[in-house]
Each structure stands twice: as structure tokens, then as C-alpha cells.
Amino acid sequence: MKLSLTLAALTLPLAACNQNTAIGNDREAELAPEPLAAPVEDAASALQNVATAIIKPETMSEADIRALGGKNGRCEVILTEVAFPSFIYEPGGKGTIKLNGKLIPLQAAGKSSFASGDLSVRLNLLDEEGNAGSQGMEMIVVPPGAKDEIGYHGYVRCH
């Protein structure tokens, strides 16, 4: 009896393992409606009253991508080769990053650099290739008021 109670207690936390609602995880389509697009806001509004230490790039949904006009003619920074993008940009043009549940448009601020107010993103091609052939990419994010930049290694895909 004691052993079965112990086993039940150990397996109980596993009961919710299939409840991961993060974008890109498999869910039953008839039970989980497609998410709505995140709101589009400038950096100052989107990051107002948010601690700099918790600002991290988020995964865009298909609805987010459609709201931005799709992928055609754009490149996307993905953190794994099978991920949805965290940053979408037009080579030599504008970009958009998802932070704090908001889509934040950024203007070109030099070669492979983008900015909106005190938020900046810089992209650097890496001399590496993923298992699926994607070009390596480093994305450096500097949130407003940050003492340090935050770097992410991922990949770039252009459409």
C-alpha cells in the first residue's frame, strides 16, 4: 500500500506534461484554437514597467507572422532549426521582434542592426551550419536600460 501511494505521488506531476501551450508544441487542433496575433507596439510602450532582466525574445505564432505581412521577401531568426521565428526582417530594411508578448517594429539602424527608441537588435552571421543546413546567426538584443547586451545563437532562414 505504501509503495503504491509513493508511486502515485511520483507520477502525479507527469499527468500535466501534455499541457505545454507554448507556440510550436503539438496540441489537438479541435481543442486548442489558433492563437490571436500579438499586439503591435513601439518599444517604449511594449516594455514599459518591465524589468530589463526578464526581457527575452519570444516565439512568434503563425497569426503573428500573418499580421506582419507574412514571410515572403523576409528573413527570420530562429533559435532552433525547427522553431518559429523570434525576429523577422527585410534585408536592408525593417525588422520585428517579439518581446513581452508584443510585436515590436524596428527600423534599420545600419548594416544588420535595428532599433526602436532605446531597444536595439544586431545580427551577425556565424561561420557554422545546423544539421538541416541552416546558416548560423547570432542575435544581440539590448533592451532599454540594460547594462549588458543579451546574445542568442540560432539560425537564419530567408524566404
- Indicate the helix (H) or strand (E) that contains 119: strand 119-129
Grid coordinates 546574445 are at which residue? 151
28 vs 153 pLDDT, higher one:
153
**Distance, CA of 66 to CA of 153 (rounded, Å):** 25
Instruction: Report percent pLDDT > 70 for the chain.
Output: 80
Going from the C-alpha of 42 to that of each of 74, 112, 124, 137, 147, the distances in angstroms are 20, 20, 24, 25, 21
Going from the C-alpha of 107 to that of each of 48, 118, 122, 136, 154, the distances in angstroms are 19, 12, 12, 23, 22
**Distance, CA of 76 to CA of 47 (rounded, Å):** 22
The stretch 100-113 carries a mean pLDDT of 94
Tell me the per-residue pLDDT of 74-100, one tens digit each, with 9 for 90 and over: 999 999 999 999 999 999 899 999 999
pLDDT tier for residue 24 given thresholds of 50, 70 and 90: low
pTM here is 0.79
Show the cell assigned to 145: 536600460
- pLDDT higher than 60, residue 44: yes
